[in-house]
């Protein structure tokens, strides 16, 4: 089976919640791979080297994921409760600002990882996904593979 056929099979057999959890896990893992080197490099110049070693791409992927989430949360077809949507939208804006800070060599990488882990834990909870969740959002997340 080709890679593209495998990815298509996964997209067609997973729920939106499962897709989101898988993408969050992959991106969070990529961020974590660089967290030790980041923590050991308090100087901006040393952090720029860590960014060049792959962290920049991981942070950019995380920003894209949260941007796609923001678009899905703003959709009228999103069935999440309004208060939860508002909270997640607020978090997505914080992620965007903090990511920009990290990309400039500033603090915030551990906090980005913690937020993603908390979201991942919520997605992994044994609750069923909302039945009205916008399928478009799930497709855009799966394309973030």
Mean pLDDT, residues 3-11: 62
Give, in order, the Cα–Cα distances in Å from 53 to each of 33, 100, 110: 11, 17, 17
CB 117 within 8 A of CB 24: no
Tokens 């999440």 -> residue: 80
Percent of the residues in the chain that have a pLDDT greater than 90, as a whole number:
71
CB 139 within 8 A of CB 8: no
Give me the chain's average pLDDT, please.
86
Query: What's the CA gap between 120 and 77, in Å, rounded?
Result: 22
Quick count: other Cβ atoms within 10 Å of Cβ 107? 12
Query: What's the CA gap between 112 and 60, in Å, rounded?
Result: 12
What is the reported pTM? 0.79
Q: Checking phi first, is residue 108 left (phi over 0); if not, alpha (psi -120 to 50) or beta?
A: left
* Sequence spans of domains, the chain: 16-124+134-142
Q: Tell me which of 49-58, 87-96, 99-108, 128-137 is least confident.
A: 128-137
Give, in order, the Cα–Cα distances in Å from 105 to each of 39, 52, 99: 11, 11, 10
């Amino acid at each position: 089976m080709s890679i593209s056929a495998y990815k298509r099979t996964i997209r067609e057999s997973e729920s939106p919640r499962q897709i989101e959890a898988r993408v969050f896990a992959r991106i969070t893992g990529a961020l974590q791979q660089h967290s030790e080197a980041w923590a050991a490099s308090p100087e901006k110049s040393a952090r720029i080297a860590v960014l060049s070693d792959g962290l920049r791409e991981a942070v950019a992927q995380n920003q894209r994921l949260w941007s796609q989430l923001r678009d899905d949360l703003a959709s009228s077809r999103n069935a999440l409760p309004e208060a939860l949507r508002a909270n997640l939208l607020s978090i997505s804006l914080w992620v965007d600002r903090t990511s920009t800070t990290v990309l400039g060599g500033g603090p915030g990488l551990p906090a980005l990882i913690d937020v993603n882990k908390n979201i991942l834990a919520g997605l992994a909870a044994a609750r069923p996904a909302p039945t009205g969740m916008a399928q478009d959002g799930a497709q855009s997340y799966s394309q973030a593979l």
